[in-house]
Chains A and B, each alone.
Chain A
Amino acid sequence: MATQGRTLPIGPTDNTSEQRTPRARLHLIPTAARASFVPFVPVRGSLRQGETDLTRVTPDRPRAQGTAIEVSGTVRTASGTPVRGGLLEIWNANTFGRYTHIEDCAPDVPIDPNFLGMGRVETDEKGQYCFWTISPGAYLARPDIGRWRPKHIHLSLAGGASRLITQMYFPNEPNNVTDPMAILMGEDFHRNIGVVYQTPERDVDHGYRFDIIVGGRNATFFE
């Protein structure tokens, strides 16, 4: 059992990390207050039709530019229990490395009129999920020092006491090794890289398996 809380690391060459990472050591939570720190997120259906296929803005519209991929896997807690009915929120840049988010003002990087880049999917009874998207482009995150963000897909998972925000990275990408968050993960980084598989007879180029394990004491608090 830990006797003192962590000091959070700061992502190298990440200015926002310098600005926003608490400097003081985190305080431990006394046992008597522990339960109050475990949010239990209510399940509320709010999915829209076609949201699991990010390769089209709506099912009747054309395919976006770039390589269509499938991403699938299971979501479990560290003890192996499937996270059922969990809400997975997904967002990624288009094939050129541009988000449709209103605050992404990247100059000279085009918007694809057939790509929104945001979707949602629920995990099933076995904790499984599957969605389609466009393989995202890398983008220049720090023009001043020439640092790129590697290709990645953002994933946010909420289900019961399980809460995780993470990113899936791609194998053999040259920018992986210079990414501040990947550097902080160190040898654990490989667990955040999708594993390629083939997708015969499905209307995507190939797939990535990305199994998600939600760790920490919160995730298993009510098991």
Chain B
Amino acid sequence: MIPQQRRTQASMLFLLLLFGATNGQAMAADDIGRAGNEALGLRAGVLIPTRGPYLQSPTSTSLVVRWRTGTASLGRASYGTEPGTWIASVDEPTSTTEHEVTLTGLAPDTRYYYEVSDIGGFATGSDSAATFLTPPTSSSRQATRIWVWGDGGLDNVNSRAVRDAFIARTRTQPADVGLMLGDNAYYSGTDSEYQSGCFTLLQPILKRLPFLSTRGNHEVLVAGANNDYYDFFTLPSAGQAGGIPSGSEAYYSFNWANVHFICLDSEGSDRTLAGPMIQWLRMDLAASQSDWNVCFWHHPPYTKGSHDSDNITDSGGRMRDMRENVLPILDSTGVDLVLAGHSHSYERSYLIRGHYGLSTTFTEAMKVQPGDGRPQGGGAYTKATNGKGPFEGSVYAVAGSSSQLTTLASHPAMVSKVAAFGSMLIDVVGNQFEARFLDLAGVVRDSFVIIKPQVLDTPPHSRPATLVFAAPQPNPSRQSSMLRYVLPSRGRVDLMVLDVSGRVVTRVVGGFQEAGEHRAEWRGVDDRGRSVAAGIYYARLEWNAQKRLQRLVRLR
């Protein structure tokens, strides 16, 4: 077994050696050397971005627009809710070729149109295709359409067909947000490779679909500015789009309506349990209040495609690390779907849980539901909990065939395997989650549906299984405080008030009580009926050897 840290270091040096510090500049020169003035970003007095515009870090109220020009200029992004009618614009403070403008003050769930321009006067002109939809607020159950593009970083006849099949399929109902599963530009993620394999190939889509990405093994990091993965993307590391701030663009989360997306970095970040990424993951997942939770990263925990998740040295053990360290957390919190690329094929699991070992350790008991998840086939998967349902199972999909393809063998966790170029389209409509794999002809080669209960206003538990001691009301108080608690079953109850030194001031309740809700009033007096001094007190509840404590503040 190769220690993860060492493998990470190994790849770092390898990549530095391969690509060096000046690479980006050299490649940028290649990019812009295509033809005359167009390479300078100018055509008949009109600014032509040599890259973009493309949309990043979408939140309900803001969005980042990025583009590149061949010559440095002061950039401006103008936007409005009608094409060509701009209600506001944002100017860059300094002249640059790498433009990045944050639009703020946007309204949630609203379609905007925009243009990018040079403050000096050049403009892209009105383009009704340059548009975006802001995410609905996370409490919204607005329908959401998601596109998933995996290992798509080669501009070839196949990737174009996959792209075009997606465009055709979504002409009447466009996607809202896109996910890139890494290896977005082969073979090393250089600037010129990103230009051709990502930004040019996907430009018709990128100017209208905000994209968020995870880093793959072919995203090489090199020294210098504007020449590698992290330079090309602006990712929501500060929790601005929902979720807990990670402080890292390698792993982050964001919300789109009632879906919480978590991006992890299986390539370069510490994958150990004690590392910051997994520490952050625990907090972020615990905080998610969304109906649906989707995780994505590059190296799949289960695959028998061009990579083998049973080979613990394959990809430096990254697939094993993610399976052993991350999956138990996802299981226990109740993630619905895990997306990965890396293997150049499509594989999709049953609704499963508890599988953290080699494929030989997979058992039937790990299938939460043994069907194929298709309403027309073995039936949709159903989950009992709206939101995170611990151990209710997850579906794992490998979708790394957007530009390359290999044959594949069978993994017992997988109910579907397809050796076809394609991408995934996911529709989330309220309590229903439907994912499809579209091949390059637009044919649906696999699909599954997960259904959760309809969201209802459920009454509070009248009799919880656990002891509940509610916060005193009012608190602070001058007169009396009401102490409310719920007993799961009959038992001996001791409810006392303590002072700050732990001395028992008075016993409010002592004796057996029936299951259910109980209330006891403390009037701010000690056991002899004398008013206590102002200050901090504690209400201590004990029932069947279980203890609870609440703080009380007594005012004069």
Answer whether A and B are interacting partners. no
Question: A residues bordering B, Cβ < 8 Å?
Answer: none
Question: B residues bordering A, Cβ < 8 Å?
Answer: none
